[in-house]
Amino acid sequence: MPSDATPDPYTDPLGFGQRMQILRTRRGMSRPVAAGLLGMSPSWVKQLERGEIGMPKLPMVLRIAELLRVRDLSDLTGDQTPAVDLFIGPGHSRLPEVRTAVNALTLGGDRQAPSAAHLAARLTRAWTARHEAPNHREVIGELLPGLIRDAQLAVRQADTAADRRAAQAVLSEVYSLSQFFIAYQPDSALLWRVAERGMVAAQESEDPHAIGVAAWLAAQAHRDSGPAHFDAADAMTREALAYLEPMLPDADDRTAAVTGALQHEAGYTAARRGEKGTAWGWWDKAQATAGRLPTAYYHPVTSFSQAIMGAHAVTIAVELRAGGESVRQAVASDTATIPSRPRLARHRIEEARAYQLDGQPETALATLERAHKAAPETIRYNGYARRIVLEETESRVPARRQRAAVLAEHLGLLAA
């Protein structure tokens, strides 16, 4: 090549710092903001992105990956590490059966569909089983294929418009249950297919509760797709709230609960953006909505209740990267009142994130152990838990390394 030729910028693969800068810029985050959230100086971030210092050790790499919402670690590190998806768990053994049921063309033949009332009763039992089981994905994964086929058939065989709307409401909730099973598994296309079908069925049902639940789950799917989709999450949440909030004065408990859950979702997304005032403002609205519910009420889909608001406060503080505040909220929250094992495990993970942010890694690991005890299938599929455990396997403290290694084995992180 002639010496005066224009250098090919792609001759050498992108380094860690270049990848970090691209991902940070794509998120719209300045160097000073990134530095502050990482606990480092802006000059350190600048040197790292310019390649003046090498790729940091694993704990800092994982912090950067979480900050930039990198789903596959190799997107950040390039060819320096194997592909590791931080926010997607393993595929459950029952995923193929659920996928087949979702994708099937349910015509039914001569088989008579169950009534909407019968299906609703089965759904109630399925939600109860999910909340009570430590292996909740196994439990609902076994129930879902039959529920999906029967609910689809009920819609197809409905004789009247009223029967069809009732069947569509049940079908929408079956798809909601399906999303809890499919989430964080390696089939994002299936998750989106189910989310979209659930929304269509909810709209066809004309049931405010079904519409609210479908919107709540769709907003989460958008938000978890990364910062580029936060606007879509906000649009979904706000449109659903504009529809539901005028109904609040006369709403039944379940419709009020899904309205409160959507108010919290708006605050959650604001916290992910770093909008402190907006995030806590939405939490206050959700708290007020929770206050109108009976003390013992617990919404089976969203877990919204008076009992969950302390856990929601921890999540808001953690997403705002406020270590001290998140620990204060964790100490103040009353976990004894959360009746769902998977939701309790999720809260324990959020508490662990709070302690990790506050520089208490030993307490974070102990809290993750409690999450594993409550519901192993929750922590195994949670990217934040996986990140903390992987980070602590590199700890300079032998006891922490050993504790993290045991957890890593429980979570399947050491599997080939």
**Which domains does the chain possess?**
16-80 (1.10.260.40), 92-206 (no CATH), 226-241+249-306 (no CATH), 307-416 (1.25.40)
Tokens for 280, please give them. 């806590």
pLDDT in tens, the chain (416 residues): 333 333 333 334 568 888 888 788 777 788 888 888 888 888 899 989 888 888 888 778 888 887 887 767 777 887 544 444 555 667 899 999 999 999 988 776 678 899 999 999 999 999 999 999 999 999 999 999 999 999 999 999 999 999 999 999 999 999 999 999 998 888 889 999 999 999 999 999 999 999 999 999 999 999 888 788 899 999 999 999 999 999 999 999 999 999 999 999 999 999 999 999 999 999 999 999 999 999 999 999 999 999 999 999 999 999 998 889 999 999 998 777 899 999 999 999 999 999 999 999 999 999 999 999 999 999 988 888 988 888 888 788 888 988 988 898 888 776 53
Render 265-312 in DSSP notation, one character per residue.
HHHHHHHHHT-HHHHHHHHHHHHHHHHTS-TT---TTT--SSTTHHHH
- Entry pTM: 0.80
SS3 55: coil
Q: Give the residue among 144, 155, 378, 176 at the shortest CA–CA distance from 258.
A: 176
